[in-house]
Structure 1
Amino acid sequence: MLSHVIPPPRGYTKVPNGLVRQSRLGSDAKILVIYVQGLPEGDRDKALSEHARALHVTGRRYQKAKAELVASGYVHEKRETVAGGRWRTVQVFSNVPLTDDQAARLRAGVPADGYELVGTAPAPSAHFPTVGAPGGRVVGGQLPADEELGKNASHPPTEASGDEPEGLEEASGESAEEPSEEPSDEPPAGPEVALAERVLLSLRHEQRQLHLGVREARTLTGLAAEWLRRGVTAADLRRAMSSGLPAEGVRSAVGFLAHRLREKLPAAPESMPAPQPPPPPPALIACAGPGEEHMFRPRVPWATTCGPCHREEQRAFWADAQARADAAAEPPPWRERFAAVAEGGAVSDEDTEVGAP
């Protein structure tokens, strides 16, 4: 694929890479976030459904996009009572995922961790070209890793980079200062260590609070590799590290992951006993059958002839039995045998009357 990207000189909206590459959001949800983010301050005081209607996203499409935004933390809703016993729904919108605690603090007017208050900076006016002095950043957001303030790159920003604008802070409240030297490029020792490093670096795509640098990830690869050596798959390790985060948020991704890797380390698999070797084959013995002397391995301990000789003996035995049966005279009919026995006095009339056998 050939790519030719020209940054517009004015009238554009900066979109976080995390939003563009978010696999849990559909195209309607992403377009809705970008559309609302680029609106002037006066046009934002509307319900999310009205903004979606302006983009012709209605019905089932809007319900699906809103559900994706709520599930991913971009939209938070809360019902409140107003005067007269009526209810109203307050929506908190952000171009980056927020936790329920951060959204509640923003509704109360208290700065959330890593975020400024909504409306502290003047929003762009609807006049074209936009007038007014540039202001600071509003709720959330993070510039691409290789993009500097005040500059436009003519190529898409990359993910892996150690240079960030000075003073820029992550949503977790940690400073983005990095050492001046580049990370070490030494190859990891073993396939489990390399796979563990990739899993740790990919946690930022699951939870933004678990963003790790290359050096930070390499300090935890030893603990994560032990999980893989104990039979845990990469997907299970990623799920165990990114699920069930504390409600108040993660202050230090390195410390949190190190604690979880130590405390939740699964037990080592039980060693299976070595399989027993198969029994040796029986020894060769001489066959007792006719013909030349030959050897065979008996299948049962009492066998004295090999298979062919044993079958030949069986055929000869049954052939002899059949010949003797054919040579024997036919027995007389039962009437004649009964008459012969009666004549010999073996059965008397008295025995017949009483039914003696």
Structure 2
Amino acid sequence: MTEQQLSAPSRARSERSRSGIGHVDQQQSERFTVVGNHLAQHAELSLTAIGLATHIQSLPEGAPVGIKVLAAKFPEGEIRIAAALRELEAHGYLARARERMPSGRIVTRTTSYNVPLVGGVMEAEPVPTPEPVPERGDTAQELLASLRAHEPRLLLSVRDTHHLAPAVSAWLERGIAPDAVRRTLTAGLPAEPLRRPAAFLAHRLAELLPPLVPAAPEPSRPDPFQTCDGCERAYRAPRPGRCRDCAPLTAVA
């Protein structure tokens, strides 16, 4: 009889099936977050970015997600967390824009997307047009809409311009001329196609935001005139007392 031989490919397939991952899944009815495989198996995101996106998507509305807050929770540190946030922005899972509050304080508003932005628009159901942006919003939106005339790849939707307008307004409020903002956004673009121009602009607006110009110091005022308690001569001093000529005599006495 001919001895039966097992082929090597069959043996290899059997070993792979036994050494691969196994799953024990249980039904969860509370305290769970649905994460798409487009995120969990993303080929271009780092594991830090994937884990951070999962954590952010699990947070309740209004929870703080600043770099220092996240670094206080996890061991990666501020540098790695900041890099992971930039990854998520570049791939459409996160958007950050600076807004000026009624009190005048500038805050960063973060928006998390469980479905990434593609070309500035979510792949899910359509999103209603937001309300007009106050505080020079018209100028910011006009600037954003004009970018396509300088670089066709920076074609934005109406929703994109509303979403990015606060970040552009932050530049304008710091005294940056619209032409300078436009040059910053259109200069040195990567050679490859921009799949998500809105996410790219959000990242560039946040990373290149110039610092606030420090307020000019108030001019120093001279001390007020005082009347010397010794000779009744007028002299300048912060508080009443004796002039320089009378003060040594008082000390000697």
Q: Which band: TM-score by shorter chain?
A: 0.3 to 0.5
Q: TM-score, normalised by structure 1?
A: 0.27
What is the TM-score normalised by the length of structure 2? 0.37
Point out the structure with max Rg over C-alpha: 1
